[in-house]
Amino acid sequence: MLTEKDLRQIDDNGLTTNQIVKQIETFLRGIPFVDIVTTASINNGIQSLLESEEKKYEAYFDSKKDKKEIVKFVPASGAATRMFKFLHEFIKEFDPQKEEYRDFIGRNEHSQVKLFFERINDFAFLKLVRSKIRELHPDYKKSTKGVRLHIFAKTMLSEEGLNFANLPKGLIPFHKYKKYTTTAFEEQLYEAAFYVAVGDDVHLHFTFSEKDLDSFKQEFENIKNRVSRKTKKTFHITYSFQKKETNTIAVTFDNNPFRDNKGNLVFRPSGHGALLENLNDIDADLVFIKNIDNVAAQEYVPEIATYKKVLAGKLLKVQSKIFEYLQELEGEVSLQKMKEMHSFIWNELNIKDIPSGKSDLIEVLNKPLRVCGVVKNTGAPGGGPFWVKDDNGNTSLQIVETSQINLEDAHQKSILQEATHFNPVDIVCGLRDYEGNKFDLQQFTDPDTGFISKKYENGKPLKALELPGLWNGSMAKWNTIFIEVPQITFNPVKTVNDLLKKEHRPNA
């Protein structure tokens, strides 16, 4: 199926023919659904901490952090396109020359458009858009209301305007303070100062699209003095791009390589699971993972930071015990001590299939550790905590996406509908072993997870392969602890109107 030209193209993408063959075999074979046994819930895989326990873990983290290397890892390459989906539809469907705005709103289900324009003064980007409108449309104020609103949306989103639709979400103005506005990028820095700082230094790593690098660098230059002055910290930013060798080949619905109009193979980004490579390159004791759009106005940050410290304190406490046990397992271990280890593995790590041999215990304990905050389920799309059975019949705690579950199976669907909690990508990771060596994270993935999706290229349908998600299959063989955290820690901006919630409106 592959020509000499194909082989050169594969090589140019940093891939091997063997990898491409395996990917095509995956399309042919299909990816099996995850077998969820039951939803994780309070006291069944999810811990709900008392206030006294939270204070204990927060204090423990504060006492240990200055001797640790800590990094905040923020996936930030996503474009803001979906944030403005309903405004794109408004631009396309509403013709102000043929219809009054009030009639358009009245005859359609456009509650989000109506809300957006009713609350236009509350958005941080208002002055920026108005300034661009004055530049491009000097007669704007003389127009009818419908024309003005249409121009506003187009100026904000189009390439000839501010091009918000194609900007990364991290560079969209999110919050409006008295004297300035902030992007999600700046708010991630500000928040990190409260729990990532070691001494006066704060280290963050962002994953960008390569085309946006200069824009992020410029934004950092614009804001670093302000955020440093406010937090009295020095910020150190590193960044990386999703590696092209993590791209996967696209195929037709007959599972043959998909070709573009010039006969070239088509390769596609393989989802956030590809960022495992980027995470694996970070050498630190602790890594906090948080999505770029999950930020809040600065008055809420001290409370949010408290729960980040609680998760990290829990991780360090459990990790300390794991390291102690692994050192003891290098020598003779009494039967009493083995029973203690078994109890710890059962109760703290939620591992119910505990091997008896010493070497097996070492294998169970000597893994990357993650502590994940989970919030009560509010119907948000994304992954949740479940007990999952593997092909060998072993059960473990996993974060599972809805797309990994067979919704045509009534029993599996009913378990999904019983889910009480949601994973907001609020994760603290321990990436070094008991001897201080960095784990190779590629050794702890489940390559058989992931999913196949339907996409389009120039209007033609194709099948795309997504790698196991970064916090799903890519961390499937880590040791995992779930802790319930309050809703205040989860403030994503999926649509632009989410910015109207009080957590995104300073002093609202």
480 has which bridge partners? Answer: 370
| H/E element, 231 | helix 213-231
Strands 41-42 and 45-47: parallel
Q: Do 174 and 124 contact (CB within 8 A), yes or no? A: yes
| Alpha helices (H) along 65-206 | 85-93, 101-107, 111-118, 126-136, 145-157, 184-192
Q: Where are the beta strands (DSSP E) in 401-459?
A: 421-422, 426-430, 451-457
Contact 155, 161 (CB under 8 A): yes
> Nearest CA to 385 among 394, 403, 395, 372?
372
Residue 349 CA neighbour count, 13 Å, CB half? 26
According to DSSP, residue 259 is labeled: B
In one letter, which amino acid is 229?
A: R
Q: Which residue is listed with tokens 């770029």?
A: 292
What tokens were used for 32? 């099996």
CATH of 4-77+183-501, one of 3.30.1370.100, 1.10.1330.10, 3.40.50.880, 3.90.550.10: 3.90.550.10
pLDDT of 272: 78
How much is the pTM? 0.92
Angstrom distance (rounded) from CA 22 to CA 143: 59
Q: Is 114:105 a contact under the CB 8 Å cutoff?
A: yes
Classified as helix, coil or strand, 75 is strand
d(CA 326, CA 307): 28
Closest CA to 168 of 106, 132, 219: 219
Of the candidates 365, 410, 408, 388, the one whose C-alpha atom is nearest the C-alpha of residue 468 is 388
Cα separation of 220 and 234, whole Å?
12
- Looking at the chain, the domain(s) classified CATH 3.90.550.10 span 4-77+183-501
**Digits of tens for pLDDT over the chain (508 positions)?**
788 898 999 998 889 999 999 999 999 988 889 999 999 999 999 999 999 999 999 999 999 999 999 999 999 887 888 899 999 999 999 999 999 999 999 887 789 999 999 999 999 999 999 999 999 999 998 999 999 999 999 999 999 999 999 999 999 999 999 999 999 999 999 999 999 999 999 999 999 888 999 999 999 999 999 999 999 999 999 999 988 888 899 999 999 999 998 999 999 888 778 899 999 999 999 999 999 999 999 999 999 999 999 999 999 999 999 999 999 999 999 999 999 999 999 999 999 888 778 999 999 999 999 999 999 987 666 678 999 998 888 899 999 988 888 999 999 999 998 999 998 889 999 999 999 999 999 999 988 888 888 888 878 899 998 887 888 889 999 999 999 999 999 999 999 999 999 999 998 6
Q: Please, are residues 23 and 452 in contact by the beta-carbon 8 Å criterion?
A: no
